[in-house]
Amino acid sequence: MWKVIPLMTREVAISLRDLRKEFRTPARTVVAVDSINLDVYNGEFITLLGPSGSGKTTVLRMIAGFELPTSGSIVLDGQDVSQQPPFDRDVNTVFQDYAIFPHMSVLENVEYGLRVKKVPAAERRRRAEEALANVALADFGDRKPSQLSGGQRQRVALARALVNRPKVLLLDEPLGALDLKLREQMQIELKELQREVGITFVFVTHDQEEALTMSDRIAVFNNGAIEQLGTAQEIYEHPATEFVAGFVGVANLIKGETAQALTGQSRTVSIRPEKITLAGAGDRQASGHVREVIYVGNATRIIVALDAGGQLIASEPHDGRAPTSVKVGDAVTLHWFAAQEYLIG
């Protein structure tokens, strides 16, 4: 078995300094990544989260060596690799369209990288079998990729990367092609696997729930820059900017005169829907009329147009109580605690 690294050590595995990438197109210059600074620790599961076009994939491709930075540096395990080709870097990448070879068996697919590196046959076999066992496919070595499910094929792609025992594994939306159920299952499996093998994972996704589920830390990207870096809880409960509040979870923002009237604040105030109730207690309250009632399975979301202006969304959990009976147009009073508010900007 591989050496298990039980706790995240604080040694830096990847260090990005003032990293910048411009793409020159005939029409204009696109700044895809704008002065990023980030330290990723050994054994950490870090997620680059952001909307399409925010620069996450470009950062990943620069760490892998598929793109060279316009300026700034990339240090892997203490060594500046900024100008080095991909094969000189101790990283492996798993893409969404996991390119596994259809004519080879699963075991041959996993062995392939080692064969290229001229690793002797017996060792190759042993390591490939170990990597397959790691992704719970020990009994699937003889199959062809066409005889596997989508999730199993994705695991073969993972085993192909793991067999090289890289210090760092880069994953670019690797679960993007899977249906929701399988995706959720793979999220848990991937996190378990990462903990077990102790490899540093850098994971790219635009899916905030995926990021919250799996990551030790999340870097939220916007316009080529990191807006916030923190644990899932820090990002969700204390978003640093309006963008982060809106992108991670459902944001309730109250501003200007409404914020002043309801909370006495001159800054923008945010409060998560699950902190607001129609019936419960709280030292804050706001009256209004129900604009929309949305049943979302484990809760009901109630969108309320406030008498003071603006709107707030309350989320009433279905925790054994009967779902709320409010209807569109009803006059309601919302309650929450000031301690649950956070100020933005």
**Contact positions vs ligand ATP (CB under 6 A):** 23, 25, 30, 32, 50, 52-58, 206
How many angstroms separate the CA atoms of 219 and 48, rounded?
Answer: 5
When the beta carbons of 224 and 230 are compared against ligand ATP, the nearer one is 224
CA distance 343 to 239: 9
Minimum CB–partner distance for residue 33 and ligand ATP (Å): 7
Radius of gyration of the chain (CA): 24
Which of 209/307 has CB closer to ligand ATP? 209
Phi (first) and psi of residue 247, to 5 degrees: -80, -35
b/e burial code for range 70-103 (CB count within 10 A of at least 16 → b): bebebbbbeeebbeeeeeebebbbbbeebebeee
Q: Would you say 19 or 106 has its CB closer to ligand ATP?
A: 19
Shortest separation between residue 21's beta carbon and ligand ATP, angstroms: 8
Listed residue (69, 10, 6, 64) closest to 37, CA to CA: 69
Residue 220's beta-bridge partner residues? 49, 228
CB of 137 to ligand ATP, least distance (A): 28
**Adjacent-strand bridge partners of 171:** 94, 203
Residue 165: exposure state from Cβ atoms within 10 A (0-12, 13-18, ≥19): middle
Distance CA 337, CA 263 (A): 10
Amino acid (1-letter code) at residue 226: I
Smallest CA-to-CA distance from 336 within 293, 280, 291, 292 is with 280
CB of 237 to ligand ATP, least distance (A): 24
Nearer to ligand ATP, 223 or 265 (CB): 223
Greatest distance between any 2 Cα atoms in the chain:
75
- Using alpha carbons, select from 279, 247, 258 the residue that is nearest to residue 341: 258
Q: Which is nearer to ligand ATP, 30 or 182 (CB)?
A: 30
Compare residues 48 and 269 and give the one whose CB is closer to ligand ATP: 48
Least distance from ligand ATP to the Cβ atom of residue 49, Å: 9
Cβ nearer to ligand ATP, comparing 50 with 249 = 50
